Amino acid sequence: MKIEARRQGGEGRAKAFMVLGTGSDVGKSLVTAALCRYLARLGIAVAPFKAQNMSLNSAVTPDGKEIGRAQALQAEAAGIAPSVDMNPVLLKPSSTDGAQVVLHGERFGTVHAADYRGRNRERFWPAVLESYERLASEYDAIVLEGAGSPAEINLREGDIVNMAMAHAADARCMLVGDIDRGGVFAAIYGTLALLDDHDRARIDGFTINKFRGDRSLLEPGIIEIERRCERRCFGVLPYLPGLQLDEEDSLALDRRRLGAPWGARREDERLRIAVLSYPYLSNFTDFEPLAAEPSVDLRYTDRFEDVANADLAILPGSKNTIADLQWLRARRLDEALRHAGHILGICGGMQMLGRRIEDPHAVEAGGKHEGLGLLALSTTMLQEKITRQVSGAHAATGAPIRGYEIHVGESEYDAASLPFAEIHDLGASNVRRDGARSEDGFVAGTYMHGLFDDDRFRHEYLGRLHASLGRAPAAQWFFVQRERERSLDRLADMVASELDLTTFFARLVERSLSPQRLGGGL
């Protein structure tokens, strides 16, 4: 769905609507995406916005800037290209108390939590407002997303993403609570109770998310919480299984770590893909298309048996490559890798597979570190971050390949080593080598994130993997873009049928949209 809508006329800023949550992983990102798709299908020029995001999953915009993965998905839902103004501040945790700050899509520096809390408003609030005003001048509606909970009273003073942003944008707010984790009424009541009167007045009502079961059993609780909070319930959103959309929050990984350890491989099983779940794993959304394939059994794991008995072991990207390499060795996963069928490293994972990693500027730990020695390359950590969209051809098969790079290290390849791909920057013709592969083809590495989003490449890659293991070809294939569009439309259909959007979006009526049009007819 490509709309590329812009304001068609009229004066003033865009109308602002905000999705807040009672906590992390309650569904704010997907509800925001659903509202963007809902408005876009009505022909409204809408854009997403999240002032500050904390995530190790990021995306690269067409102009080579870095933003949170959720905002890229929300832009896709709105039918527009992602831009840095949709997520001006991105925090990428790099230690237990520190994070890399990405400001307007570029690396700003590394800060510790205490320092950031004390100075983030002074440093980053002007940049946040600058981005928001640009969007508000281009679109008719902005759907903002909050972070965590607006009731984190220890963080209120330095807030730039929840209520401070709601006031700055003059946004109507909807509070989302997750019934799936239990205690949703207490979470809604407690959130509202902890807010100041000035902040509480911004919140028009609440929505209960991820409901399963008999709705009639919920009604008494809704009536009582409406009375106690003096806020309306906009509706109840059912749990929607099978959505093929990115999950940004790292809490989502916990749902992929279930199951008994794998034993010896059997020919009649699905392909086993083990993604090493080290502490600073980044861009785990790279592997969602693989997980969706009917012929694949994918899990995120730190167990020796899983890695050793995998048909394909993947070393994913890392926000702290050296620390994760040490973590991997401490669990003997370096030994387990030597028993896996195939090995693929992406970004930081490829750097680990090389012979050594040098960090002369102490970007991470400093010093020189021995790699796993499975690929003929060496990496030097640099202070400048590389972010760009790329495309080209897979060297082994000639299959088209595309993705994006986000890394601070540069690798040198031995003269005799084989490339993983031949690529060029988006819109350019400067062909260069990417990555490396072993002579026997069982070990490979690339700097490209998102390469499995492309159906043609993913199907070709898995087909060759099946063949190399003596397996029959896959009977069914998954198609990413088709299923993403279906999932976004399912979300929009759900919010249209279950939420009172006529009331929530009432201010858009001022832009000549009738209540009947807002309420349905999708």
pLDDT score of 520: 47
Supply the DSSP string of 260-294, one letter for each residue: PPP-S--TTSPEEEEEE--TTEE-GGGGHHHHHST
Per the CB < 8 A criterion, the answer to whether 237 and 46 are in contact is no
Strands 367-370 and 356-359 come out as antiparallel
pLDDT tier at 509, thresholds 50, 70, 90: low
Residue in the structure block whose two tokens are 């209520």: 163
d(CA 135, CA 47): 7
Does residue 261 have a pLDDT over 80? Answer: yes
Cα→Cα distances 489→3, 31, 216, 522, Å = 14, 12, 27, 10
Alpha-carbon separation of residue 2 from 5, 38, 60, 287, 484 (angstroms): 9, 14, 18, 25, 13
CA-to-CA dists, residue 3 to 7, 81, 194, 380, angstroms: 12, 9, 40, 42
pLDDT at residue number 479: 93
Are 28 and 19 spatial neighbours (Cβ–Cβ below 8 Å)?
yes
Whether residue 449 lies in the annotated active site: yes
Q: Mapping DSSP to helix (H, G, I), strand (E, B) and coil, where does residue 86 land?
A: helix
CA nearest to 37, candidates 170, 172, 143: 143
The residues, ordered by sequence, that sit 6+ positions from 269 with a Cβ below 8 Å of its Cβ are 297
Q: What is the pLDDT of residue 469?
A: 87
List pLDDT tens digits, range 331-381: 999 999 999 999 999 999 999 999 999 999 998 989 999 999 999 999 999
3-class secondary structure, 475: coil
| 3 state SS of 182 | coil
pLDDT at 118: 60
Mean predicted lDDT score pLDDT of the chain? 90
Residue 517 binned pLDDT confidence (cut-offs 50, 70, 90): low
**Nearest-CA neighbor of 426 among 59, 60, 2?**
60
- Which one from 104, 369, 449, 459 is the annotated catalytic residue? 449
Task: Give the mean pLDDT of 434-455.
Answer: 95
DSSP state of 113: H
CA 492/CA 35 separation, integer angstroms: 7
Domains of the chain (ranges, CATH numbers): 18-57+126-244+484-510 (3.40.50.300), 250-477 (3.40.50.880)
**Which residue is catalytic, options 173, 229, 233, 347?**
347
Instruction: Quote the radius of gyration of the chain (alpha carbons, Å).
Output: 24
User: Highest-confidence range of 45-49, 154-158, 415-419, by mean pLDDT?
Assistant: 45-49
CA-based nearest residue to 92, from 382, 352, 318, 326: 318
Give the Cα separation of 18 and 5 in Å (integer). 20
Q: Please count the other Cβ atoms lying within 10 Å of the Cβ belonging to residue 471.
A: 18
Q: Within a 13 Å sphere around the CA of 58, how many CA atoms are in the beta-carbon half? A: 39
Number of H helices, E strands in the chain: 16, 26
